[in-house]
Amino acid sequence: MRIRGCFRILLPGMICAAVWAQSPAPQNPLDGLTAEEYWAVYDVLQAAGHLDEKTHFAGIGLHEPPKDQVLGWAPGKAFSREADVTLVREGESFEALVDISGRKLESWKKVEGAHAATYEGEMKDLAELVMKDPRVVEALKKRGITDLKTVECVAVPAGYIGLPEQNGRRMFWGGCSSAHGVNRSWGREIGGLFVLVDGGTKKVLRVSDFGAVPVPSASNDYPYENDTGRPGTTPITVSQPLGPSFHIANGEITWQGWHFRVRLDPRAGPIVNQVKFDDGGRLRSILYEGSVSELFVPYMDPEETWASGHVFLDAGEFSSAIGGLIQPLKPETDCPSNAKYLSGIFFTSKGAPLIRPQLACLFERAGGNVAWRHREEAGIAGRPSRSLVLRTSATIGNYDYLFDWVFEQDGSIRVAVGATGIIEVKSVASRTAAEHADPPAGSHMEPPSEYGHLVAENLSGVNHDHFFSFRLDLDVDGPNNSLMIDRMVPEKLPAASPRKSIWALRMSTAQTEQQGILDIHLDRPAMWRIANPNVQGPLGYPTSYEIMPEATGISLLSPEDWPQRRAAFSAHQLWITPYRPNEFYAGGRFPTGSKGDDGLAAWTKADRPIENTDIVAWYTLGFHHVPRAEDWPVMPTMWHEFVIRPYDFFPKNPAL
């Protein structure tokens, strides 16, 4: 059995005292679940008769208290605690609401039309089924592979794409790779095999063999040991001899006027909440809660082994199987030497608490940038910039993601995603670009169209996308806000003017959800601001925070394509919804098996009012990835980001 933390996952009651020592009582209504609370969830469900040897936990998370209760809460006051729970039993999924404080089961029901996320150990068990299936063994034998000790097979959740075998089933797709002669099996796909597995009945439903492709032999090796740097690299020392400038007390982090809290959630990763700024002794609210809501990674190869299987909604489908969306950080690699670390407590598939050390790091960064400056004859006035970085990392199969929430001295919050890890590659017969022509003879697509790009001999890096939906419950000077759209419109000047044209700002306020679905247009630029129409700054403008995109993209898939229906949030950069406590995940609570009837696109069909009310902004950060040779065997970190910045919120530059 695998060992997690300090206890072995054999019996639910086996746990070390160290877990309890690191699980103090929650100090805030939005704090993450403690070890004691995970056990309370387990005991309530056990007493209700809902747990047996065939039942597995696929999700346990804080059921947030009503927002008005949180906003009205003060330290020292009591607060209730509840947990949302999802479970899987023989292919069927269930959801429960557990009253932790009262130690009772509030609700229990079967999930209809979708499935809970895959749980820890499920993919491994199904992969063993794939390996032992006689049809798979025969297909490997046709390829000259008879020694199965070095063959690795996989089975991962199959999002709904209309396959005839899928209806009603908890479906997984599988394939195999060879680890013979290498340190790891990345890039060693045994091509042409496609396997469908029923996760409920534990049976392989179909094995399709599209023909053998040579197993690539190109090197996939990279330095795994600790490295002191490339030759000629001299040390750079990061030192704060007086300690960090930030402080953590009772779970609240304070730095340079900022006040905020962090909950490390099994599914959403870091949830930044109750973000405020000390403006001259007055704590002003900015962000009630911000988090990654969902990740969507679709691949662009038409062969069934890829078109059907390589479409992932990572947070909703995989986070439970890997011990939570985010995993421990490596000091001196993921975070600098001046970083401080935060640990979290997640859960196992048996419902036991799971200690995850070093899940997040917090550090100050002074990277040589300028906060502000100006030169006069008397000299240069200015100040170097300094930022506070909250960083987490996620490894989801082949890809690694770094998530940064960066607090700036000018009152801005910079949100960044760094993509690295190992790209998905397909085994192909071609060895050079001249041989690499993806569209087969008679294809409806004509060369030079490509579904992927050679990154090594016999290895094609398949084209794909990355989309991250960020849920941003901005409360700018209070919950009641509006979306202001400031469009920059060209205007022609009178003939007598020496200029022919200028542009002017035309401001409008979105009334309903459909007006709040927006895209970036370089030829029709606009600013998107979450404003409080009830609070004015000293000059009479409503206080606001702008969501300022940087380089990003939208999905190119057809709206009728099943993956696009499930991840419809990727079709637009900005969505605005009225706050609803049950609308937390852009792709819906249960994206596995979903047909797109939950999530942002479904909610916004109601076209609900969004003016001068409690609203939530959903920002899609996306990019298209055409792999290159330099992305193999490990991809250099590629960063994308956006900024949430004050606009008429402060009376002057807060970095002064």
Catalytic residues: 314, 399
Assess contact for 368 and 62: CB atoms under 8 A.
no
Question: 407 Cβ partners below 8 Å, 6+ apart?
Answer: 255, 256, 258, 260, 387, 388, 389, 390, 413
Number of Cβ within 10 Å of residue 19's Cβ equals: 21
Question: 506 Cβ partners below 8 Å, 6+ apart?
Answer: 486, 487, 489
Pick the closest to residue 485 from 534, 444, 520 (CA basis). 520
Please give the sequence-ordered ranges of beta strands (E in DSSP) within 91-220, or none if there are none: 92-99, 104-110, 151-157, 171-178, 193-198, 203-209
Q: H helices then E strands: how many in the chain? A: 9, 34
Pick the closest to residue 52 from 14, 92, 15 (CA basis). 92
Assess contact for 265 and 538: CB atoms under 8 A.
no
Token couple for 586: 């852009």
Distance from C-alpha of 359 to C-alpha of 352, rounded to nearest angstrom: 18
Assess contact for 555 and 573: CB atoms under 8 A.
no
Sheet of 82-89: strand order equals 55-63, 82-89, 92-99, 104-110
Distance from C-alpha of 130 to C-alpha of 123, rounded to nearest angstrom: 10
Assess contact for 574 and 283: CB atoms under 8 A.
no
Assess contact for 324 and 13: CB atoms under 8 A.
no
Quickly tell me which residue has 């991962």 as its tokens: 156
Token couple for 350: 């048996």
Quickly tell me which residue has 């996989």 as its tokens: 154
